[in-house]
Amino acid sequence: MEITNVMEYEALAKEKLPKMIYDYYASGAEDQWTLMENRNAFSRILFRPRILIDVSKIDMTTTVLGFKISMPIMVAPTAMQKMAHPDGEYATARASAAAGTIMTLSSWATSSVEEVASTGPGVRFFQLYVYKDRSVVTQLVKRAEKAGFKAIVLTVDTPRLGRRESDIKNRSNHRLQITNLPLFIASITELTCFLNVPSYRFVLPQNLSLKNFDGLNLGKLDKTDDSGLASYVAGQVDRSLSWKDVKWLKSITPLPILVKGVLTAEDARIAVQSGVAGIIVSNHGARQLDYVPATITALEEVVEATQRRVPVFLDGGVRRGTDVFKALALGASGVFIGRPVIFSLAVDGEAGVRKTLQMLHDELELTMALSGCRSLAEITRNHIVAPWDPPRIAPKL
Ligand code: GLV
């Protein structure tokens, strides 16, 4: 069956991956209201297309932090990609470079910054979690710089890990679905854990590690009564992180810093004052605090608060070129995609990620043509109507 949109990869990935792994990627926090809302909110924004404009040439290129890319669609950091596919972050790095766009590597990648850099040229950002032990952070940032990463994406919404119930629960409803050798190994590990530990929860399969931390003895997740990752975060990540640490981070690296996880005008203003190079409006793929708004709903207030002094990006729920257009119309300088990359990686490795990026590229191009926009600069607020807009036709009293 031909895949015609990025969402179709999710169902195929679900068939292919062991349940523990699929659930880790797919789930949101608690009631998963924000998870659904990240998608639903896009569907409430409609178009106001302009017609009879010569759209025989469409330019989708843009510049992010001075780097020219082929389209305003970039790859978000997602953790532990070798659980999805043996090529993991290598495949994502190659596919992103081939598409002419930026990949963000997760701190919790199963390939190190050096390994990802070894895949060849490409503009890459490094997502950072700040550990309690600041020497770990300093070393990691230096390694990212040396490996040619171009920006630090500081995650600011994770003083503690959100409560993803399937990661806690995955035990009695354990099913083994073995489709290839690495997954077979992962599944055996799962089975072993299941037999040994009565209350087995999400944990990184034993053949994998958080490669950036291997040399620092922080590469493994322990088996615990909670989600293995939640316990890891509680043990290692600094929950006292505050704006003064953004200043500290600026003092240890010349790389530009993007803060990822801003959802309010108040924090957007502080971010600008703190000298960040940009803001990513993100709710962490709805995996942290449930009942925060969809990112597309929060975007405009953040953009307005920055007074366009820094670029604002968005991630969360982007599955269509039309979603990208809506984000740009609301003031985003670009978007990042997370789960579509993971699920297409799981199904088809590098080729899957390439196809995902190509499909979103083509959909955005078509949306621009059908809306009468020949360049990203021509996309305006008037090309869409949002539920919070005042009615265009005043009701007759
Ligand atoms: C990692 O960042 C996660 O949300 O699981």
**CB 164 less than 6 A from any atom of ligand 1:** no
For 348-367, what is each residue's pLDDT tens digit?
999 999 999 999 999 999 99
Closest CA to 278 of 340, 240, 333: 333
Q: What is the per-residue pLDDT for 225? A: 63
Q: What is the per-residue pLDDT for 80? A: 96
Q: Tokens 């955005």 — which residue? A: 364
162 Cα nearest atom in ligand 1: 4
Which of 287, 290, 315 has the most ligand 1 atoms within 8 A of CB, as the residue to mutate?
287
Closest CA to 23 of 162, 168, 155, 153: 168
**CB 79 less than 6 A from any atom of ligand 1:** yes
Q: What is the per-residue pLDDT for 175? A: 41
Which of 22, 24, 158, 341 has the most ligand 1 atoms within 8 A of CB, as the residue to mutate?
158
Q: How many percent of the chain have pLDDT more than 70?
A: 91
Element at 353 (helix H, strand E) = helix 339-371
For 263-282, what is each residue's pLDDT tens digit?
999 999 999 999 999 999 99
Q: What is the per-residue pLDDT for 395? A: 74
Please state the pTM of the whole predicted model. 0.91
Alpha carbon of 152 to ligand 1 centroid (Å): 17
The catalytically annotated residue of 85, 174, 284, 383 is 284
CA distances from 229 to 201, 236, 376 (A): 9, 10, 39
* Numbered residues of the known binding site for glyoxylate: 24, 129, 164, 260, 284, 287
Average pLDDT, the chain: 92
Confidence of residue 201 (pLDDT cuts 50, 70, 90): low
For 203-218, what is each residue's pLDDT tens digit?
788 889 999 998 887 8
Q: What is the CATH number of domain 7-161+238-385?
A: 3.20.20.70
In the predicted model, is pLDDT for residue 193 greater than 70?
Answer: no
Alpha carbon of 28 to ligand 1 centroid (Å): 10
Confidence of residue 97 (pLDDT cuts 50, 70, 90): very high
In the predicted model, is pLDDT for residue 184 greater than 80?
Answer: no
Q: What is the per-residue pLDDT for 220? A: 79
Report yes or no: 23 and 166 within 8 Å, Cβ to Cβ.
yes
Q: What is the per-residue pLDDT for 192? A: 45
> Average pLDDT of 97-110?
98
**CB 287 less than 6 A from any atom of ligand 1:** yes
For 6-51, what is each residue's pLDDT tens digit?
999 999 999 999 999 999 999 999 999 999 999 999 999 999 999 9
Domain boundaries, the chain: 7-161+238-385
In the predicted model, is pLDDT for residue 176 greater than 50?
Answer: no
DSSP 8-state class, residue 21: H
Instruction: State yes or no: is 383 an active-site residue.
Output: no
For 316, phi then psi, to 5°, come to: 115, 105
